[in-house]
Amino acid sequence: MSEDTLPRRRFLLGAGLAGTAIAAGLADPVEAQQQPTTPPAIAPSARAQEVEPFVTLTASEAAFIVAAVDTLIPADELSPSGSDCGVAVFIDRQLGSAWGGGAKMYRAGPFVRGKPEQGYQLPLTPREYFAAGIAAANAWTRKAYGGKDFDRLAPADRVAALQAMEDGKAAFEHVDARAFFAQLLAITQAGFFADPIYGGNRDKIGWKLLGFPGLPATYADKVDAYRDRRYVADPQSIADFS
């Protein structure tokens, strides 16, 4: 986050590189440079205004997540806000899933302070970790911003607060602020680009921005026809094949 606070192009770059690499290396770098750099505008749909109930987040946790994803993905000419794209719902569903409950995680310890490259080293489940991180974030903003929880901050203050978390300058208790921000950013990226069946990427907004065709696992029959030129198709999700 530099001169353009929390710039969408940086968010999309980080998520796009990871997402497309995992999905199958969608675009060749040389070919990508030959394509228009500004995707077409995508208007909010009626579905973006639907209210979906949260399955695990408390009211204060949901308020934090909605405010955070809307700060990381603000509504603009490229897409609706993060929450209108279903990212908050995605996060809620993931934290309420078996993964959120720590399924298949080793949690017997011992747990010692590890190096940054060693990743997560706490006994908490993802659900517990986000609960602790959100509580710590709100406690810190109440001290730093006149008694206000994160979701009550002005937009500019939300950006500054997330910047402080990212830089490790926010004084959280019991939780590393930088590590929490990294987890928050990662799950926000996942929600914006995951298959819509999981609650995020509503109306395939993220895929449309990338030009990603979605679920089909092989395009061998199109290699010759689209050699050296861009393949354009409406993205398809898991739901489209069920």
Vertex 4: Cα angle to 86 and 179 (nearest 5): 60
The pLDDT, as a whole number, for residue 96 is 96
pTM above 0.85, yes or no: no
pLDDT per residue, tens digit, the chain (242 aa), is: 444 444 554 555 554 333 323 332 223 323 333 333 344 444 444 444 456 789 999 999 999 999 999 999 999 998 999 999 999 999 999 999 999 999 988 888 788 877 777 766 778 999 999 999 999 999 999 999 999 999 999 999 999 999 999 999 999 998 999 999 999 999 999 999 999 999 999 999 999 998 888 887 677 888 888 888 888 888 889 888 87
- The C-alpha angle 113, 118, 119, rounded to 5 degrees, equals 85
Torsion sign, CA atoms 16, 17, 20, 22: negative
Q: What is the pLDDT of residue 31?
A: 34
d(CA 130, CA 20): 26
CA atoms within 13 A on the CB side of 161: 29
